[in-house]
Structure 1
Amino acid sequence: MKAFFLATILASGLAFPALAGEQFVDQTGFAVSGYDVVAYRDIEQAPVGTAQPAAIPGKADITAKYNGATFAFATTANRDRFLEDPAYYAPQYDGHCAYGVSKGGKVPGNPNLWRIVDGKLYLNITRNVVGFWEADIPGNIELAEDSWSRIEPDAASTRPIPGFKSPAPLGE
C-alpha cells in the first residue's frame, strides 16, 4: 500500500509543469525592470536589423507574481491578460539575455532590446549583442534551448544591465 501511495504521488507530481529557474530582477525590484510584458504583444515590431520601438513601463500599483518575481503592468487589463497565461507573456530564459544563454551564461536582459519570435518574447543585453542575435535568430534559439537545459538551475544574474536607465519611478 505504501509503495502504491508513493507511486501515485510521484506520478501526479510529474503531471504539473516545472517552474522555471530564478527570474532576473534588477534594482527596480521587478521582473523585466518593471516593463509591461503584455504590452510587447501590442507593439508593432521593427524589421530585423532595426531598433525596436520602446517598451511600455508598468505601474508599481498594478502587479502580479509569477515565478518568484513581481511583474508590473501599464493597465489592469494587461495584468488580467497576464494572469490568464503568465508563461505565454513572461520572457524566455527567465528574462536573461537570449544571446547570452545561447553562449552558455546568464546575463541580464534589457527590456528595450526585445523581439517576439514564434510567439515568444526574447530579450538581449546590449545593442551590439542584438546584432549577433539577429544574424541567426533560429540558430541562436536552438543553441539557447540546448544551453538553457543545463544552466536553468543556476542562480539568476545579479549584474546590472549595461547602459540601461530605468524609467521614471513606476508609481509616477
Structure 2
Amino acid sequence: MSSIGRFVAAFALIAAALAIPGHARVLENGHFVFDPATGFAANGYDPVAYFVDGTIREGDPDYEARWGEVTWRFANEGNRDAFVRDPLVYAPSFGGRCPVALARGYPAEGNPRLWSVYEERLYFFYSQEHMQAFTEDPDQILAEARQSWNKQFPY
C-alpha cells in the first residue's frame, strides 16, 4: 500500500473512532470495574437483565463471556448471546463507575445494586445520594462526568 493509501486508511480509522458517541468510547477502553476476588464485572450480575427484565439478576456460572478484559455473567443463554453480539449496548457506562462521583472529580466504583437505565445506557451509583442527585439533572451530570472521565482515563 502506498504512503498516501496508508494515510487515507489511518485517517478513516481516526474519523470513525471520533464518530463513535462519547458513551461508546467510554466503554471501549477497558477500564472496567471488577471484583478482584472473582474477576467478574458488575459483581457477577447480568448486565442485560437491567434492560430486558428491568431488575437486577445474578449471573449463572453456566453463562459467562469475556469482554473488555473481564468476565461477565448472565442469567441465561439469550442474555449472554445478546451481550456478545453488542456489548456496548449493555455494559455499564464509565466502566461501572458512578457518573455523579466522576462529575465531582473522582472515579468511585458504582454499586450494581444502585442502578439506572437512562437514555438506553446503564449507570451504577456509589450511593443512594448519588443516585438521587443523578435523577435531578442527569444530562448535566453526564456532561460533567464525560469531561472528568476523559481527563482521568484519556486512553
Partner residue of 1:29?
39
CA separation in 1, counterparts of 2:154 and 2:38?
Answer: 23
Task: Please list, as runs of the form range in 1=range in 2, the aligned pairs for 1:66-85 lying within 5 A after superposition.
Answer: 66-85=67-86
> How far off is 1:10 after superposition?
2.0
Partner residue of 1:47?
none
- TM-score (normalizing by structure 1): 0.74
Structure 2 unaligned runs (5+)?
none
String of CA shifts for 1:38-71, please: whole Å, max 9, x gaps: 0001234xxxxxxxx5x11102231112211111
Q: CA RMSD in A?
A: 2.1
Structure 1 unaligned runs (5+)?
45-52, 155-172
Task: Please list, as runs of the form range in 1=range in 2, the aligned pairs for 1:136-147 lying within 5 A after superposition.
Answer: 136-147=137-148
Between the aligned residues of both structures, percent identity stands at 30
Partner residue of 1:87?
88
Q: Once superposed, which parts of structure 1, at least 4 consecutive aligned residues long, lie more than 3 Å away? A: 15-18
- TM-score (normalizing by structure 2): 0.81
> How far off is 1:5 after superposition?
5.2
> How far off is 1:12 after superposition?
5.0
CA separation in 1, counterparts of 2:86 and 2:2?
Answer: 36
Which structure: greater helix fraction? 2
Partner residue of 1:159?
none
Q: Which gives a bigger RCO, structure 1 or 2 (Cα 8 Å, sep 6+)? A: 1
